[in-house]
A and B are shown apart, each in its own frame.
Chain A
Amino acid sequence: MKHIMHKLLLSCKRAGELIEKQSLFQLRWNEQLQLRMHVRICKFCAIYQQQSILLDHLIRHQMMETGDLKLVLPVKNELLKSKIILHLDEQIGSDDEAEYYSSLDFLSIQVCKYSCI
């Protein structure tokens, strides 16, 4: 009896494969029929199918971006952070240089105030 059921209605292992295939691709008509029959008879695979769909739902929910960032465990890496900042500070250059350039900007505004109109 079991043997006939496997031939006609798949093994549980095969049914599980088709459940995942179905979540990605179209099943062939005979696969679809076999899966539907198997799940109707086998309560374990019926449970598996429900849980598989729920898991997809849960994982997809996790994938949403910033919205669920609260669910992500915060991890720190101060070393790397300060390395990047140091690198940027080098580009920003010494304070003297920055001041020099901002004073130039200031001058050009001053000049415009009196002569650009």
Chain B
Amino acid sequence: MNQKSTKINTAETIKHWVLMYFDSLYSWAIYKTSSKESAEDLVQETFLVAHQSFDKFEGKSDAKTWLFAILKNKILDYHRKQYRNPEARAERQSQYASGILFSSLFNEHGEWRAEEVPEIWPAESDHLLDNPEFNSTLQQCLKNLPNQWFSAVQLKFIEEKKPELVCKELGLSQTNYWQIIHRAKLQLRKCIQLNWFNS
């Protein structure tokens, strides 16, 4: 086959993939970034990369797995950038959010406020994993976190690397990292308490 028809075949295969997998890739990207604009960019880039490196695909894995692997890398880059580039405004926002969070949960001695003490969750909380309704509550709660906290939580779990390495890459101290995770988790726990267990 000549070069031109190979090019056309590639474009046709990619087109086929767009028709088949665009919706799930896009839904996933929205889910992982909570941002329409970022999800649009990331999915477009995913198909662009797939197109450019089509000869590396070779049908070793199925197309869907391959596309998701590309998207996953793009999402990881996105969170690294989000985290590394805390614009002054985002930084202030997260400082402000911490202040409010801590003073709403703890008194001046650092004890739980009476109305905020963690309550035991019912035993069926073990089965939350497979409950789509719970997952959309969790998704909503993650979405409500300040951007930097959201990215920190994503990085904690997406990265297969050791946390020490994550910190090195992001150029932040270990203390800073776990403190942010701590705030994010406090807020998440409260959000889930209110929107799932109390509702």
Instruction: List the interface of chain A (C-beta within 8 A of B).
Output: 2, 6, 11-14, 16-17, 19-21, 23-25, 44-45, 47-48, 51-52, 54-63, 65-66, 69-77, 80-81, 84-85, 88-89, 91-93, 98, 101-102, 104-105
Which A residues are in CB contact (< 8 Å) with B7?
91
Q: In whole angstroms, how far apart are the Cα atoms of A44 and B112 in the complex? A: 8
A interface secondary structure, majority: helix
Which of B2, B128, B181 contacts A58, CB < 8 Å? B128
A11 touches B5 (CB 8 A): no
Contacts of B54 in A (CB 8 A): none
Distance in Å from the Cβ of B23 to the closest Cβ of chain A?
6
User: In the complex the two chains form, is B132's CB within 8 Å of A16's CB?
Assistant: no
Residue of A nearest to B166 (CB): A24
Which residues on A sit within 8 Å (CB–CB) of B11? 88, 91-92
User: Which residues of B are in contact with A by a Cβ distance under 8 Å?
Assistant: 1-2, 4-5, 7-8, 11-12, 14-15, 18-19, 22-24, 26-28, 30-31, 36, 40, 43-44, 47, 64-65, 68, 72, 102, 105-106, 109-112, 117-121, 125, 128-129, 132, 135-136, 138-139, 142, 153, 156-158, 163-164, 174, 177-179, 181-182, 185-186, 188-189, 192
Residue of B nearest to A81 (CB): B22
In whole angstroms, how far apart are the Cα atoms of A88 and B24 in the complex? 19
> Once the chains are docked, how many angstroms separate the CA of A88 from the CA of B118?
54
B26 adjacent to A20 (CB under 8 Å): no
- A65→B157 CA distance, assembly (Å): 12
The one of A23, A71, A89 that contacts B15, using a Cβ cutoff of 8 Å = A89
Extra contacts besides A65-B72, A101-B8 (6): CB < 8 Å: A11-B110, A20-B179, A44-B112, A72-B28, A88-B18, A98-B8
